[in-house]
Amino acid sequence: MPIRQTKVFKFFSSIKLAIWLLSFIAIFSVIGTLIPQNKESCEYISRYGQSLYDIFAKTGVLNIYSAWWFVSLLALLCLNLAVCLFNRFSLKLRLLGTLLSHLSILVILAGSLIGMFYGEKGYSRINEGETINSFISKNKKIALDFSLRLDDFIYEEHIDPQEKLLVYPDVQQPPSEPKGTCEMEQDTCDTQQPGAAEREKPLAEIPVAVGSQSEIADTGFRVKILRYVPDFAMDVSTKQVTSRSAEPKNPALEVELKSKDGDIKTFWIFAAYPDIHKQIEKNFRFKYQWAWRRPKDFISKVTVIKGGEELLKKDVRVNSPLRFGGYSFFQSSYDKEHLSWSGLQIVKDPGVIVVYFGFFLLILGLIIIFYINPLIKRR
Amino acid sequence: MLSIYLNIAFAAYFTAMIFYFMELFFKPKLLSNIARVFLVCGILSLSVYMGLRWQIAGRPPLSNMFESLVVFAWAIAIVFIFIDIKYKIKSIAAPVALMSLITLGSASLLDKEIVSLLPALKSNWLTIHVLTCFIGYAALTVAFVSSLIFLIQKNKNQKLDEISYKMIAFGFLFLTLGIITGAVWANSAWGTYWSWDPKESWSLITWFVYAIYLHVRFTRGWKGKRAAWVSVLGFLAMLFTYFGVNYLLSGLHSYG
């Protein structure tokens, strides 16, 4: 009996099988999006309970897209496609679109297999100043024939136009509460001045940027912003101010106030504690109107070193990886608490080019099926 | 100030819808032509809105739920105006206009503030990826309306089935382009073209549903009602890909 007439062959070349496979893969993919994938077991247990977790863990739905039965469905779909291609397709122009679009799926999956077997993918957390020359991929140490130094990691933010330093004339008020209560409850602090700051017109409105300065109306005073820290901290012994992290837990501005006569005072203004500076500066009331800053850029400044020579410097950003020696380095993570390191994703994937070729074939095939074939038929 | 163009578009879409509805009950051809003029006005007004927003923001206005809904409302009307001129099927015109009106309406409920782009979105792929996706979504929406009307009609108009098919073919091509541009972008931003993120998985699920539609139609001769049900299912999957993933699931694609 010729192979094409065997039952097995007919089964694998049927469209019915293809439709069932597509349906099942779709349904299992749905499950994979409803149950968070690849999380810690304690997270699952607290969410679903122990018994349900055991069932999930055994069936593989917690890592569904790599579960053997899910991968088998994909493999079966490939087999189905391959048999169909072998069985039905001949080199007729009419069938070119169908041929290409179906072949493309096999090409894409072949590309992903190449990546799986011959690709390398790892993650490296590099401290500023540190140099790496290897990384871990699939539990194996991969040595690079060059090294990479992280010179600096920079986290940039967008300053919202609403973020301003406002200067008001000092209104004679009864001495306010001792500052201790302010620090404890900042909410009550704001309400203690019954909206006076809001109602009055400020003498000066200074957009927040280090170095920006302004005259305070016609008082002859000048104010200048010297420094911004998102998370104010002061060393008690040295009086050195630092930022504990990049999180805006206690945003503060250091300003310089220069009087007509050239007297200079510098002090800190806090967004959360608007009264603290009054101890030092009595002529004006300052209000630091803080606004949420959105991330602008994450930049890892790196240097490629080979044979003791600095070959290349590059700013690695999201959407702008470093490509060198067959490897790509992607900006992947950082820590807002300590901006002293950067996490880079290191990838070498020889399958990508095959996958992209598959993408091209797929689009070409679809265009032929939907738009070229009808034109040919009409003739 | 900018939102005046949004309001004009809303009014134009609304008026177009009213005229399309009137067209169902009264004969004169003039009605549908007036409706089309208003629909085009709506499209132009949204184009101006997006153009100005682009200029002010200094980046394409395609970066969050609000901006994508505006693009969606814009794309539905553009795709539909061609179908309307070619097929002149009254029964789907008003419901499609209603769909784009709802889309624009839900956009107006969201925060319109222009905010700066997140680092992950700063790429030339943004424009091409979002546009291909939403042209696809728009065509699939027209296909859905067409299938739905076909299902509830007593005297089945076979033209509706044909429109559904044409729109699904077109939408499928653009959905494919959307997924592919997304994959290429992900690879150039993160070094992985596919990571089974919920947005990716759901776009693939949607793609599968429409692939099933095309296969049953081509090889098993499913036309009319049965095909229309698959089209409705595909649209629901598409809606979940667009909204459900963002509001109900968490993942990489949290912008819109």
**A318 and B122: CB-CB below 8 Å?**
yes
Total-model pTM: 0.86
- Residues of chain B with Cβ-Cβ distance to A23 below 8 Å are 208, 212
| Nearest alpha-carbon partner for A97 in A379, A378, A375 | A375
pLDDT score of B115:
85
Q: How far is it, in rounded angstroms, from Cα A232 to Cα A243? A: 5
SS3 A274: coil
Q: Is A224 exposed, middle or buried (0-12, 13-18, 19+ CB in 10 A)?
A: middle
With 50 as the cut, is the pLDDT of residue A183 above it? no
Phi, psi of A163 (to 5 degrees): -80, 115
State the count of interchain CB pairs (< 8 A) between A and B.
96
**B208 and A26: CB-CB below 8 Å?**
yes
Confidence at A216, pLDDT banded by 50, 70, 90: confident
Residue type, B83: I
pLDDT score of A120:
93
**In whole numbers, what is the pLDDT of chain B averaged over residues?**
92
Interface mutation vs chain A, best among B114, B116, B162, most A CBs within 10 Å = B116
DSSP β-bridge partners for residue A304: A148, A312
pLDDT score of B193:
95
Residue type, A122: G
**A26 and B205: CB-CB below 8 Å?**
yes
Q: Is B205 exposed, middle or buried (0-12, 13-18, 19+ CB in 10 A)?
A: buried
Sheet holding A164-169, edge to edge: A204-207, A164-169, A284-289
With 80 as the cut, is the pLDDT of residue A4 above it? no
- Residues of chain A with Cβ-Cβ distance to B245 below 8 Å are 33
pLDDT score of A84:
86
- B221 and chain A: CB distance < 8 Å anywhere? no
| A337-368 confidence digits (pLDDT tens) | 778 899 999 999 999 999 999 999 999 999 99
Average pLDDT, integer, range A57-62: 86
The contact set of A with B (CB < 8 A) is 15, 18-19, 22-23, 25-26, 29-30, 32-34, 36-37, 65, 112, 121, 158, 294-298, 317-319, 321, 328, 330, 332, 345-347, 349, 352, 355-356, 359, 362-363, 366-367, 369-370
For chain A, what percent of residues have pLDDT higher than 90? 35
With 60 as the cut, is the pLDDT of residue A182 above it? no
Query: Å from B120 to nearest chain A CA?
Result: 6
Q: How far is it, in rounded angstroms, from Cα A162 to Cα A197? A: 16
With 90 as the cut, is the pLDDT of residue B236 above it? yes
Query: Å from A94 to nearest chain B CA?
Result: 14
Could you name the CATH architecture of B1-112? Up-down Bundle (1.20)
With 80 as the cut, is the pLDDT of residue A197 above it? no
- For B12-57, the DSSP string reads HHHHHHHHHHHHHH---HHHHHHHHHHHHHHHHHHHHHHHHHHHHH
Count of helices and strands (H, E) across chain A: 11, 17
pLDDT score of A266:
86
**A15 and B201: CB-CB below 8 Å?**
no
**B189 and A319: CB-CB below 8 Å?**
yes
With 60 as the cut, is the pLDDT of residue A195 above it? no
With 80 as the cut, is the pLDDT of residue B99 above it? yes
**In whole numbers, what is the pLDDT of chain A averaged over residues?**
84
Average pLDDT, integer, range B39-59: 94
Confidence at A379, pLDDT banded by 50, 70, 90: low
| A240-271 confidence digits (pLDDT tens) | 888 888 888 889 988 888 888 888 888 888 88
- B222 and chain A: CB distance < 8 Å anywhere? no
Residue B118 vs residue B41, higher pLDDT: B41
With 50 as the cut, is the pLDDT of residue A184 above it? no
With 60 as the cut, is the pLDDT of residue B200 above it? yes
Average pLDDT, integer, range B33-40: 94
Q: How far is it, in rounded angstroms, from Cα A73 to Cα A317? A: 38
pLDDT score of B137:
97
- B195 and chain A: CB distance < 8 Å anywhere? no
Pairing of strands A204-207, A213-215: unpaired
> Contact A222/A214 with Cβ under 8 angstroms?
yes
Task: Provide the CA B44 distance to its chain's centre, in angstroms.
Answer: 17
For chain A, what percent of residues have pLDDT higher than 70? 90
With 50 as the cut, is the pLDDT of residue A215 above it? yes
Interface mutation vs chain B, best among A13, A33, A88, most B CBs within 10 Å = A33
DSSP β-bridge partners for residue A347: A121, A328
Average pLDDT, integer, range A77-85: 90
Count of helices and strands (H, E) across chain B: 9, 0
pLDDT score of A173:
52
pLDDT score of B126:
93
Q: At which residue do the structure tokens 């900018």 appear?
A: B2
Q: How far is it, in rounded angstroms, from Cα B39 to Cα B82? A: 11
Q: Which long-range contacts (CB under 8 A, 24 or more apart) does B234-237 make?
A: B234/B140, B234/B143, B234/B144, B234/B168, B234/B206, B234/B209, B234/B210, B235/B140, B235/B141, B235/B143, B235/B144, B235/B147, B237/B202, B237/B205, B237/B206, B237/B209
Instruction: Name the DSSP class of A311.
Output: E
DSSP β-bridge partners for residue A124: A344
Average pLDDT, integer, range B118-146: 94
Confidence at B93, pLDDT banded by 50, 70, 90: very high
Query: Å from A71 to nearest chain B CA?
Result: 13
Query: Of A252-266, A281-295, B82-96, which one has max mean pLDDT?
Result: B82-96
Residues in Cβ contact with B178 at an 8 Å cutoff, skipping those fewer than 6 apart: B129, B132, B133, B136, B203
pLDDT score of B95:
94
- For A78-127, the DSSP string reads HHHHHHHHHHH--S-GGGHHHHHHHHHHHHHHHHHHHHHHH-EEEEEEEE
Helix intervals (H) in chain A: 7-12, 15-34, 41-48, 50-59, 68-88, 96-118, 179-184, 186-192, 196-199, 352-367, 373-378
Q: How far is it, in rounded angstroms, from Cα A81 to Cα A152? A: 50
pLDDT score of A339:
81
| A132-177 confidence digits (pLDDT tens) | 999 998 889 999 999 999 999 988 888 888 888 888 887 655 444 4
- B252 and chain A: CB distance < 8 Å anywhere? no
**A25 and B208: CB-CB below 8 Å?**
yes
Across the interface, of B115, B173, B201, the residue whose CB is closest to A33 is B201
- B128 and chain A: CB distance < 8 Å anywhere? no
pLDDT score of A180:
41
| CA distances, A267 to each of A164, A221, A225, A226, A244 (Å) | 17, 15, 10, 10, 19
pLDDT score of A185:
39
**B183 and A32: CB-CB below 8 Å?**
no
Number of Cβ atoms within 10 Å of the Cβ of A52: 12
Q: How far is it, in rounded angstroms, from Cα A318 to Cα A334? A: 12
Average pLDDT, integer, range A108-117: 94
pLDDT score of A178:
45
With 70 as the cut, is the pLDDT of residue A186 above it? no
R_g of chain B, CA atoms, integer Å: 18
pLDDT score of A47:
85
With 50 as the cut, is the pLDDT of residue A78 above it? yes
Residue type, A38: N
With 70 as the cut, is the pLDDT of residue B216 above it? yes
Q: How far is it, in rounded angstroms, from Cα A252 to Cα A249? A: 10
Torsion of CA B144, B149, B152, B158, to 10 degrees: -100
- Residue boundaries of the structural domains of chain B: 1-112, 121-256
With 60 as the cut, is the pLDDT of residue B65 above it? yes
Residues in Cβ contact with B24 at an 8 Å cutoff, skipping those fewer than 6 apart: B90, B91, B94
> Contact B38/B19 with Cβ under 8 angstroms?
yes
How many CA atoms lie less than 13 Å away from A175 in the CB half-sphere? 3
Phi, psi of A272 (to 5 degrees): -85, -20
